[in-house]
Amino acid sequence: MANPIATIEMENGGTIVCELYPDIAPESVRNFISLA
């Protein structure tokens, strides 16, 4: 399965795209997704 991708849209119109690695940091990825 592919790693999840998080896209954050900034107020100034910019975009931040992050690839999450649940195999390396499963708890951090789970927290990030649950808080999104």
pLDDT of residue 1: 72
d(CA 3, CA 14): 22
Residue range 12-29, pLDDT digits in tens: 999 999 999 999 999 999
Distance separating alpha carbons of residues 10 and 24, to the nearest angstrom: 27
Q: How many structural domains is the chain composed of? A: 1
CA nearest neighbour of 21 among 34, 9, 33, 8: 33
Check if the beta carbon of residue 34 is closer than 8 Å to that of residue 20. no
What's the CA gap between 17 and 31, in Å, rounded? Answer: 17
What is the reported pLDDT for 34?
Answer: 95
Residue 14's pLDDT is 98
**What is the domain extent for residue 17?**
5-35
- pLDDT category, 4, cuts 50, 70, 90? very high
Q: How high does pLDDT run on average in the chain?
A: 95
Residue type, 8: I
pTM for the structure as a whole: 0.75
